[in-house]
Structures are given as C-alpha cells and as structure tokens.
Structure 1
Amino acid sequence: MKTKAVFFDLFETLITEFSNGKRISNRKYDYLESLGITTEDFKEEWSSRQQKRMIGIFSNYFEVIKDILENRQLKSNNEAVQILYQERIKEKIIPFLHIRSDILELLEYLRKNNIKIGLISNCTEEEVRYWKESELAQYFDDFIFSYEVGIAKPDIRIYQLACERISVSSHESIFIGDGGSNELDGAFNAGLRTYHAIWFNTFIESNYKKLELPGELIKEL
C-alpha cells in the first residue's frame, strides 16, 4: 500500500538532548537550596508523576512542583520555582537550535513527494515551547503533544487520533521513533508500519526494522 503519511517521535528522533552520552545542556539544579529537597528525592518525586505530567493531569510545571512540595510537607518559594521553570525552558530550547541537515533533507523529500508529515510526542508544555519557532515546524501538517490531548504513547488512541487529524488510515502510515515509552509497540498495535530510529539513541532494543540514518526511510516508502 502506498505511504500517505509519516509520523515522527520528537525527542531523540528529530532532535536530541545528548552528545557523546551527556546532556547538551549540562543542567545543574540545586533543588535543596531552591525547594528544600535533595536532588535524589526530587528526581524520585518527578519520575513518579511521569504519566500524569505527560497526559496533562498536571497542566504545567508549577502544578507538579506544588504537588511535590505538598507531598513532602515543604513550603513553596514562588520566586525559586519561577527561576527553576525558566531554567528548564532554556534547557529544553537547546535541542531545537541545531537540527541535523539529513533530517531536514528527509522532511523536504517527504513534502515534495506529497507525503503528509505528522508529529506524535509525549511531552509537557515547557518541553516544546520552542517547537513553532524551530526549523522543523514548517514541514509538519499536524503535531500532537500528549499533554494537550490527554493521551500518551503507547496508547493506540494517540496514533489513531494522529491519523484522523490528517485524514489517513493507519495502514497507509509509517511511524518512526527511538523506542522510548514503548512507542514502537503502540504504533504497531495501532496498525502503522513501524521503524526504529537509532541515529541518536542506540540503547533501546526492539524487533522493529532499524534505520541508522534518516535518509534510509526513503527506500521504505
């Protein structure tokens, strides 16, 4: 069946937060000084709210921090939280500033060949603040952010919604991702042809066909 649409994951598929195994942002947050909680305890609290953050139960960063502090019976310092929020936004902008040329070339090829392009990303508001200003956005017919629609990968409903919004069937569509959040299984179960992008992230195992470079997709269309 002819491919009518390609859906991409965002982080570690179109953009990356890492270089040589280290975060590009080199982030350093002093949660003990800002919030009164150790970094280790903060990470535990933050991770435990992953699903609720992704599907928008916590509508923004401030709600998450408030919930963490209440759970730990700590007082909130609004100024400190605002500083943390702004630092997180700065951190999340960095991956959007330098898009690999071969990724842009692939998107240009898809557009010129009248193949629709969609995005399906598990994310929160502050993580994608720079999406619309990035070089990527101009190529996309639609983009779905999990926190906005209340569904996150690998729930098959998010892939179905993505197909509905650009009027294609799942069997006419391809999904490409690095494999985080079991997204490849979700796409496959939703009926999309599924490919494992390993040009950024080689640490996740899967049984799906691997693409070592973005341009390898062209042979699969």
Structure 2
Amino acid sequence: MKTAGCCFFDLFFTLIKPEYFPDMSENEVLGLGIEEWEAYAEDKALYHKRAGGLVMEETKIMEDITRLLPMQVSPLQQKELLRQRKARMRHALRNVDGRILEMLEQLKLSGRKLCLISNADVIDCMYWKESPLFPCFDKALFSCCEKLLKSDVRIYQRAMQYMNCTPEQSIFIGDGGSGELRGAKNAGMKTVFTEYLERKPEEQRRELMKEADWYITDIWELPGIVSKG
C-alpha cells in the first residue's frame, strides 16, 4: 500500500536553537567567549566521533573537549561544564517556537508523516522525549544511535525505509549544516533550505541555494510547498 508523503526535518537551527543563557553557558565556567569555547567544543574530529556513536558516555565527551583546551580543567569544572551543557540542550528542546509546533501540527493534519534526521551526540538528544516536538514525529533518527551522520546518503535511505516512503514522496527541510541538503538530494529527496531560526552569511547562503529546491525565511511557507511538492 502506498503511503502518504513524508517530511524529513533537521533539528538544530531548523526546529530548535541551543542558545547560551545565564547558568546554561559552558564557556563562562572557564572564562571564555562563546566563539572561543565552540572552537574547541565543536572541533570537527571530536564531533564526528561522538555524533557517529563512537563515544556514548557524556562524561567522556566533556573530557575529550577539555583535553583540547590550553588550560587545566579541574574535576569540579568538568562537572559544571557538563551540567551547563545538558541544561542548555534541555532548555532548547523544551522551549520550542510555537509557530514551529503549529506548522508541524498542520502538516500532520494534512496527512504527512514526519521524521527527524539529526546529527547529534548523546547529550544533544538525551532530553528528546521531554520536548513538545517528540509527539509530533513518527520517527527520530539520531546519528549517534544510527552510527551514521548526514550527509551520508545511507542515513536518508534508512529514514525513508523506516517511513515506508520513496524518494519521490520525500521532502527534507534543514538549515543546510553538515552538507545535509546535498545529502538529501543525493538520496533523491526534494529539499527546502530554511533560515527561519538563523540567517547565514551571504556567501554561504548562495552556496546552499544551489542544493535547495525551495528557500524559506518563514516556517509557515512550508505547508504550501509540501502541498505542491
């Protein structure tokens, strides 16, 4: 039996934005600026390791990050860094833009299935079931659990298999990070590049436009695109 079409969503900077707030700001534990902290915390090699499921212990994730820092980090600081990072991710997942939730509900009412495909480590996704996004989705694939990251075409293919839909029935929506739009197109999906939660630098935007079938700045443009796509 042929299923209704499916919308596949990215998570970070598409549906949620893990912003830094007081008492949810790891960088302040070490007296670093956010950009300086993220240069270490988002180190590409370490991120691929943990988001690829090779490191599944939250304390080990933080130890690996702090090992890169040009300073000594005490056990007490390690504990506080982890506490604040977890608090920040939990806050982002629990405090979702109401317009996004309404839009997802509209897509479900139209008969579309919804599936999440997210590059995430165990800290990033540990509070997923507390999120108001959780009941909106039929399935969620997190890279650390799947042992595959976007833009590997296999994670999109796996998601479509779970959802019992073909590439022709599939639309992927994301902010373009990690080459995700290119990966979705390689899997045969149509793609929507969204800047609803965050605007990209002009040069990056131009490049991402090449990988997108549609471009939106307002998340409520999406139901109209989906109905035609």
TM-score over 0.5 (shorter chain): yes
Query: Could you tell me which residue of structure 1 aligns to residue 5 of structure 2?
Result: 4
Change in Cα spacing, 1:64 to 1:135, as seen in structure 2 (3 Å) is: closer
- Partners of 1:212 and 1:42 in 2: CA distance: 26
Shift of 1:103: 1.0
Q: Which amino acid aligns with 1:17?
A: P
Counting aligned pairs with the same residue, the percent is 30
1:45·1:68 contact (CA, 8 Å) conserved in 2?
A: yes
- Partners of 2:215 and 2:150 in 1: CA distance: 19
- Partners of 1:41 and 1:162 in 2: CA distance: 33
Query: Could you tell me which residue of structure 2 aligns to residue 44 of structure 1?
Result: 40
Is 1:54 aligned to 2:54, yes or no? no
Query: Could you tell me which residue of structure 1 aligns to residue 225 of structure 2?
Result: 220
Aligned length: 211
1:60·1:124 contact (CA, 8 Å) conserved in 2?
A: no
Query: Could you tell me which residue of structure 1 aligns to residue 17 of structure 2?
Result: 16
Is 1:153 aligned to 2:154, yes or no? no
Change in Cα spacing, 1:42 to 1:127, as seen in structure 2 (3 Å) is: closer
What SS does the aligned partner of 1:92 have? helix
1:31·1:42 contact (CA, 8 Å) conserved in 2?
A: no
Query: Could you tell me which residue of structure 1 aligns to residue 61 of structure 2?
Result: 64
* Superposition pairs of residues 81-120 of structure 1, within 5 angstroms: 81-120=78-117
2:40·2:65 contact (CA, 8 Å) conserved in 1?
A: no
What SS does the aligned partner of 1:49 have? helix
- Partners of 1:12 and 1:132 in 2: CA distance: 19
Q: Which runs of no fewer than 5 residues in structure 2 stay unpaired?
A: none
Shift of 1:165: 0.9
Shift of 1:129: 2.1
* Superposition pairs of residues 100-179 of structure 1, within 5 angstroms: 100-179=97-176
Change in Cα spacing, 1:67 to 1:169, as seen in structure 2 (3 Å) is: same
Per-residue CA shift, 1:172-214, capped at 9, x if unaligned?
1100001111111111111111000111121141122211111
Comparing 140-149 with 211-220, greater Cα deviation is found at: 211-220
What SS does the aligned partner of 1:7 have? strand
Q: Which amino acid aligns with 1:163?
A: M
Shift of 1:96: 2.2
- Partners of 2:146 and 2:157 in 1: CA distance: 12
Query: Could you tell me which residue of structure 2 aligns to residue 183 of structure 1?
Result: 180
Q: Which amino acid aligns with 1:167?
A: N
Instruction: Name the Cα RMSD after superposition.
Output: 2.8
- Partners of 1:42 and 1:212 in 2: CA distance: 26
TM score, norm. by length of structure 2: 0.81
Comparing 93-102 with 188-197, greater Cα deviation is found at: 93-102
Q: Which amino acid aligns with 1:30?
A: V
What SS does the aligned partner of 1:63 have? helix
Q: Which amino acid aligns with 1:15?
A: I
Change in Cα spacing, 1:157 to 1:45, as seen in structure 2 (3 Å) is: same
